[in-house]
Structure 1
Amino acid sequence: MRFAPALLAAGMANEQFGKFGVWQPHLLVTPEAVRELEELGYGAVWLGTSPPADWDGYDALFADSQSIIIGTSIVNVWATPAKASADLFHRLESKYPGRFLLGIGAGHREHNDGYTKPYDALVNYLDELDEAGVPTNGRALAALGPKVAKLARDRTAGALPYLATPAHTADLRALFGPDTLLAPEQKVVLEEDPQQARTIARERAAFYLNLANYVNNLRRYGFDDQDLTYPGSDRVIDAIAPHGTPDQIADALTAHLTAGADHVAIQILGGDYVPALRTLAPYLAARTS
């Protein structure tokens, strides 16, 4: 079983890139998990929490699977030189053609020393990737605001938005037109009790309300100081980490597709992510068949 593929003009192995993928911190992703996720029909695994280019786990994830795409979400431009990212891309592309997408981003001023002019830093990084021969369709940008989103549209395969809503997805699709890759991340909690689900969500998601770029983006979509003051109102927590039954979670994820996403990167909050994704797989398949 494979979830219906998104038709991406970017040139990445379109027949392999399904509607749904999985986002997890890179140190929690194992070859065994990747193999099972591929068998369940997920089209991509996104390696989060700024995996460095010299991380020694990449090859094992590819070697134990057949077709699933693996992407970084994201390599931090302040922490990893562009040459190292380019070398990583070329090495993996030569060994596993069409299965690696280099996701890059500017991180957060709160966590990165020397964080100034992030837009200029991204432009310079892309220039260096160009010089190193990394193709446009082999890279994507973490993009929230319109300025970086336009950069993603014009100089990469597309955008990997994080902590965004379906309304944001719709706005980016309108900006991009039909051809640019749009693959938002969406946190979910597979838990029917609202209070318990919100407790789980706040343990992992409220942290982001201390980061200016996410807060500023959520303000664009109607959330105010009452919502965005740590640890967040129930309204904003429910928006950034929907909860409920497998059917309700599938609806929340499909909302991004309806809004114009090509692919949704699912981040499971609470417990082991693989069993939760195992549970969700038939519900997601039913919505894309």
Structure 2
Amino acid sequence: MGSDAVLEARRRLGRIGVGLMTPLAPADEWRRAARRVEDAGYGAVWVNEAIGGREVFAQLGVMLAATERIAFGSAIANLWARHPAAMQGAASVLADAYPGRLALGVGVSMGAVVEQSGQTWGSPLTRMREYLDGMDAAVQAAPSPDVPFPRLLAALGPKMQGLARDRADGMLPAMMPVEHTRRARELLGPDKLLIALQPVILETAPEKARGIARQAGAFTIPGSPYIPALRSLGYSEADIADGGSDAVIDACFSWGDETAIAKGVAAHLDAGADHVCVTVFQPDLASCADQFERLAPYLLDA
């Protein structure tokens, strides 16, 4: 059945949410976009962060205050951006203020990003394990929400997924093929949350859609964690090279018309995901909300 946090999250998040990942925008634009997504019927909004700039808990607080029912999640809160006690405390404050509306996703980011911030990259598994120890040690000093919030780990490889199973309420892998979702569910078992982050591209021309996907650069960043994850699924070096072969792009991104995208999203649910966070490639929040409204009638029936 899962823990109270898992059961409550399954009820609150629903099957489909959206990711608002635009790096910088005025607060009013975030408020408007969040309200539009809520009005469209989605279950959750997920936001990310780098190190510095748009701080994820402040961002979540702005949007929670501007909406009424929709849940919000961090995808992810970067553990290199704050002390583990600050992570636990910030999440607890928001969960206490907005019962049942917060999901905490924690991730280790990647080496290039961490080094750029002036910190020293090390073993991501060791870093995450020690960080979770620090969060656990801070629980008693933090507010105690009436409704527990789920703690999720960004996990692509089996070792981090095992940690998510053993030390968290589940995991949220991003931009992975459906087969990855199926294997992740097998590893997690039935009692943990599995949130799949799925980028989608409303474009029916194959070469144009794949070109947009490659511009994301996920497979070309030095030290990209997506590369070993794809290798573990059986993709060859040729498949992974030069931003990803057509087969890789088609497996990791859902593109086409509304019906094709809904089919791609539903495949992750069928493979064992509890919830799919859909993200789009748009230059501003208003354009993101436009696409989510356009997709809602198709996705919310996925």
User: What TM-score results when the alignment is normalised by the length of structure 2?
Assistant: 0.86
Q: Does the C-alpha gap of structure 1 residues 74 and 51 become closer, same or farther in structure 2, counting only changes over 3 Å?
A: farther
- The residue that corresponds to 1:129 in the other structure is 135
| Two-structure CA RMSD over aligned residues (Å) | 2.2
- Where does residue 15 of structure 1 map in the other structure? 11
**Deviations 1:233-276 (Å, cap 9, x if unpaired)?**
22212222221110000000000001000000101124622111
Partner of 1:86: 88
Higher mean displacement: 77-86 or 159-168: 77-86
Judged with a 3 Å threshold, the aligned counterparts in structure 2 of structure 1 residues 14 and 236 are, in CA distance, closer, same or farther, namely closer
Residues 27 and 111 (structure 1), Cα distance of their counterparts in 2 relative to 1, 3 Å cut: same
Helix, strand or coil at the partner of 2:73 = strand
Q: C-alpha distance in 2, partners of 1:47/1:270?
A: 15
Distance (whole Å) between structure 2 residues aligned to residue 56 and residue 77 of structure 1: 15
2:220 is aligned to 209
Matched, 1:225 2:237: yes
Tell me if the contact between 2:56 and 2:77 (Cα under 8 Å) persists in the aligned partners: no
Normalising by structure 1, report the TM-score: 0.89
- Structure possessing the higher relative contact order (Cα contacts under 8 Å, 6 or more residues apart): 2
Give the distance between the partners of 2:260 and 2:4, measured in 1 at CA.
27
- Residue pairs, 1:197-276, within 5 angstroms: 197-204=209-216, 206-210=217-221, 211-270=223-282, 272-276=287-291
Where structure 1 has 5 or more consecutive residues not aligned to the other structure, the ranges are 1-6
Q: Do the aligned residues in 2 keep the contact of 1:200 with 1:270 (CA within 8 Å)?
A: no
Which 10-residue stretch deviates more, 26-35 or 278-287? 26-35
Partner of 2:171: 159
Taking structure 1 as reference, are residues 115 and 148 closer, same or farther at Cα in structure 2, changes over 3 Å only? same
Mapped pair 1:41 → 2:38: no
Give how far 1:55 is off: 5.4
* Structure 2 match to 1:117: 123
Identify the match of residue 159 of structure 2 among 137, 147, 153.
147
Alpha-carbon separation, structure 2, partners of 1:48 and 1:35: 18
Question: 5+ residue gaps in structure 2?
Answer: none
SS at match of 1:208: coil
Matching residue of 2:69: 67
Q: How many residues align?
A: 280
CA distance in 1, matches of 2:93, 2:5: 24
**1:155 Cα deviation after fit:** 1.4
Q: Using the alignment, how far apart are the partners of 1:14 and 1:223 within structure 2?
A: 32
